[in-house]
């Protein structure tokens, strides 16, 4: 990304321009923000093209045809204006690199990753062809990489096969090296879906080997080799060579259909791990996270003039807290507790207590709390029409190390189900069954197997932890089980039973590395920190490294001085660490460890007389932090992926109902779980009828928008469901005080 240049507009249509993404033959592409906060890529058209006779009419037709393409793996068209002085179009923004950039920077992909790439691009092209279009420029530069799969872009030369000026004979359209022979010979009338299959074969060969099938060099030479020569054997990886040779057949009729291509790739992918634990290599995933964080912090890291006092090496520039969000109130840290017997809800509700039964599952097991009817309430009359009942499983940690979070999530989901089932006109009722993995990965895996084999279970809420999610991911994905999680900081791959990849995981929690965004914004806009000390606690693994890496890049871009200190996963020498902070003359510190280690560091900083800004993440936001460090905790600020519903106007009714139902304030993630259950219910509602198949539910998740009490849940290409799910808290007088959503909380 580059800053806007002199002469660049500040707005195009309803989009506010933020950065330049690049410029090409057709025009300039900008990073932009829509009024609702969504990030988009806005592409303008050069005046020389706009002034051509018939261009605007063709552009208008292209926009209409592009709107017909509907696929999760195709970057969607959001908006366009063919009649503007400078014609433009806006698409969803994908922060990942192109396939071309990834291969050139990090090397070829593994065969498992290439199979995922091929499966999903084949599905994307099926959507393109289903709309009556041929893409005509399938190449690595037009494929962007995201954590859940690739995205096909650039329909600037996609045309209906029947023909326009650009599909007529005599005009070569596309990129040499990835064109079909019929394109290379400008046989316009013969260019149909098989042409895209040929190009896809070239792309997969390049992805697997880094070698173009028909070599490098002059465009004319590459075109001639495409027409008359066989592909370079070095470009065809062992294991995929027969299939790719078929895709690269000189005659269109000799190439496999996209359906056959998907089938072959799915057969070959059996046993591969890419679809279960991340389809991209770790360096590419880190690059995507870095770019995602950079986009989230735009507007918070602009270089500002350094004052004379801030520039001095001898002046303490400790930041002072500014005004909080209008939503801010003080609260005491609370945990979810088991409801009293008198608070049992209506049908479909789960209760923690003596009615629990142990379901054996191999060597492990799962607790299943059955529903009971509250005395004095009635069940639906047998005389009236019976609504279909959809079964949803709650899979979480209810007895292990994260039981407080798990119970809070269960309580929030219970409340949602209770309110949903009371609604008149609701086309179905939900039955919630709760299962406990105890935070044990083996039990979590056994439980996932049990739930996928239960035909009644149509979706799962949970799990609670990343470790248990990793243990269940492949099992749930292969079964196309829809998963909605609120505290898992990972995205999932989804392998369906019909050989198509379906994103079956709606991860409502922000990925941990992106918590750098609220940290950077607070340090930049709220306290204007100039020397920041980042503590990379190796006990937290990649999370700590990623947060420190992304934070330091963004802060340095904003003109801040940054020191990164790595501490071992074992014992920390807190006094010496605090002394290093003082020696660096830091005016802010960010600690990435858990509550116990953060408490030790807080006490050491207080003893050393450090008065600057102190930040941590939700991993330290626990009552034991307050209890262990006492007065030393005051002023600490936390970046989290959960909100406090008691402090939000939108959460008042939920908070009152929760207190009445469970006799306690909502615990962390309770409100998010409430929204997750309501979101899932909306997904299951197909125009007034109940969705009864897992695949159908999974497919609908990314298409549904739900305005919840915590935020609006909506899938955003490149960012998933969690782009705005970041918040900030501060310790005030020994209690956690909610500051608000991070963009609001960080405004001075």
Q: For residue 5, give both structure tokens.
A: 């240049």
Ramachandran angles phi, psi of 578, nearest 5°: -65, -35
Can you tell me the distance from the alpha carbon of 572 to that of 474, in angstroms, rounded to the nearest whole number? 37
DSSP string covering 707-744: E-SS-EE--BTTTBT-TT--EEEEEETTEEEEEEEHHH
Cα four-point dihedral sign 460, 461, 467, 468:
negative
In the three-class reduction of DSSP (H, G, I as helix; E, B as strand; rest coil), residue 312 is classed as coil
CB 439 within 8 A of CB 401: yes
In the three-class reduction of DSSP (H, G, I as helix; E, B as strand; rest coil), residue 548 is classed as helix
Cα four-point dihedral sign 601, 602, 606, 612:
positive
| CA-to-CA separations, 68 to 62, 128, 690, in angstroms, rounded | 10, 8, 26
Can you tell me the distance from the alpha carbon of 90 to that of 188, in angstroms, rounded to the nearest whole number? 29
Bond preceding residue 554 cis, omega within 30 of 0: no
Beta strands in 415-541 (DSSP E): 429-436, 457-461, 483-485, 505-507, 531-537
Helices (H), 131-192: 181-184
Can you tell me the distance from the alpha carbon of 713 to that of 704, in angstroms, rounded to the nearest whole number? 8
In DSSP terms, which residues pair with 475 in a beta bridge? none
CB 321 within 8 A of CB 724: no
H helices, E strands: number in the chain: 24, 27
Can you tell me the distance from the alpha carbon of 551 to that of 521, in angstroms, rounded to the nearest whole number? 10
CB 393 within 8 A of CB 430: no
Give the distance from CA 618 to its chain's centroid.
18
Residue with tokens 């609220």: 518
Residue with tokens 């998010």: 672
CB 645 within 8 A of CB 654: yes
Cα four-point dihedral sign 737, 738, 743, 745:
negative
Active site residues: 137
Q: What is the 3-state secondary structure (H, E, C) of 275-301?
A: HHHCCCCHHHHHHHHHHHHHHHCCCCC
CB 157 within 8 A of CB 166: yes
């Amino acid at each position: 990304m580059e800053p806007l240049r002199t002469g660049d507009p500040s707005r195009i249509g309803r989009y506010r321009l933020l950065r330049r993404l690049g410029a090409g033959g057709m025009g300039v592409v900008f990073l932009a923000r829509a009024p609702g906060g969504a990030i988009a890529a806005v592409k303008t058209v050069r005046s020389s093209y706009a002034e051509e006779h018939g261009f605007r009419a063709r552009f208008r037709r292209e926009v209409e045809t592009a709107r017909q393409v509907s696929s999760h793996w195709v970057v969607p068209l959001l908006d366009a204006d063919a009649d503007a002085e400078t014609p433009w179009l806006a698409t969803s923004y994908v922060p990942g690199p192109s396939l071309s950039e990834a291969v050139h920077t990090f090397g070829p992909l593994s065969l498992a990753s290439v199979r995922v790439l091929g499966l999903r691009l084949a599905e994307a092209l099926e959507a393109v062809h289903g709309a009556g279009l041929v893409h005509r420029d399938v190449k690595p530069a037009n494929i962007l990489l995201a954590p859940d799969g690739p995205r096909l872009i650039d329909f600037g030369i996609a045309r209906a096969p029947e023909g326009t000026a650009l599909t007529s004979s005599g005009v070569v359209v596309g990129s040499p090296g990835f064109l079909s022979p019929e394109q290379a010979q400008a046989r316009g009338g013969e260019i149909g879906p098989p042409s895209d299959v040929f190009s896809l074969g070239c792309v997969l060969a390049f992805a697997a080997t880094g070698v173009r099938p028909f070599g490098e060099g002059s465009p004319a030479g590459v075109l001639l080799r495409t027409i008359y020569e066989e592909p370079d054997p070095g470009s065809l990886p062992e294991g995929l060579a027969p299939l790719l040779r078929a895709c690269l057949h000189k005659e269109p009729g000799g190439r496999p259909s996209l359906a056959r291509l998907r089938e072959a790739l799915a057969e070959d992918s059996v046993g591969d791990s890419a679809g279960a634990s991340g389809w991209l290599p770790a360096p590419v995933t880190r690059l995507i996270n870095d770019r995602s964080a950079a986009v989230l912090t735009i507007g918070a890291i602009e270089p500002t003039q350094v004052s004379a006092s801030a520039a001095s090496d001898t002046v303490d520039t400790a930041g002072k807290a500014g005004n909080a969000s209008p939503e801010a109130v003080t609260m005491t840290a609370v945990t979810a507790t088991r409801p009293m017997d008198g608070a049992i809800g209506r049908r479909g509700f789960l209760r923690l207590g003596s009615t629990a039964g142990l379901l054996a599952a191999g060597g492990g097991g799962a607790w299943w709390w059955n529903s009971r009817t509250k005395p004095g309430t009635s069940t639906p009359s047998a005389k009236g029409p019976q609504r279909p009942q959809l079964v949803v499983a709650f899979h979480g940690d209810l007895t292990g190390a994260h039981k407080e979070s798990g119970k809070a999530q269960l309580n929030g989901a219970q409340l949602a189900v209770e309110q949903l089932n009371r609604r008149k006109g609701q086309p179905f009722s939900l039955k919630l069954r709760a299962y406990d993995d105890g935070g044990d990965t083996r039990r979590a895996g056994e439980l996932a197997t049990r739930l996928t084999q239960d035909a009644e279970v149509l979706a799962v809420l949970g799990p609670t932890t990343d470790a248990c999610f990793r243990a269940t991911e492949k099992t749930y994905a292969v079964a196309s089980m829809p998963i909605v999680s609120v505290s898992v900081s990972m995205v999932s791959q989804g392998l369906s039973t019909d050989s198509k990849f379906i994103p079956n995981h709606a991860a409502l929690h922000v990925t941990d590395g992106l918590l750098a965004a609220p940290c950077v914004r607070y340090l930049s806009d709220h306290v204007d920190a100039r020397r920041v000390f980042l503590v990379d606690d190796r006990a937290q693994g990649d999370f700590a490294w990623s947060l420190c890496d992304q934070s330091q890049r963004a802060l340095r871009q904003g003109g801040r001085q940054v020191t990164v200190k790595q501490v071992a996963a074992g014992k920390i020498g807190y006094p010496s660490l605090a002394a290093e902070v003082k020696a660096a003359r830091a005016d802010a510190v960010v600690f990435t460890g858990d509550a116990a280690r953060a408490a030790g560091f807080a006490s050491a900083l207080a003893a050393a007389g450090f008065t600057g800004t102190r930040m941590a993440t939700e991993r330290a936001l626990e009552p034991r932090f307050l209890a262990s460090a006492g007065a030393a905790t005051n002023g600490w600020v936390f970046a989290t992926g959960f909100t406090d519903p008691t402090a939000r106007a939108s959460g008042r009714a939920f908070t009152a109902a929760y207190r009445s139902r469970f006799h306690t304030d909502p615990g962390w993630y309770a409100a998010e779980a409430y929204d997750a259950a309501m979101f899932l219910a909306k997904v299951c509602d197909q125009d007034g009828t109940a969705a009864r198949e897992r695949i159908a539910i999974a497919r609908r998740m990314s298409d549904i928008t739900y305005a919840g009490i915590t935020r609006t849940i909506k899938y955003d290409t490149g960012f998933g469901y969690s782009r705005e799910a970041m918040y900030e808290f501060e310790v005030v007088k020994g209690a956690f005080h909610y500051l608000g959503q991070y963009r609001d909380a960080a405004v001075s």
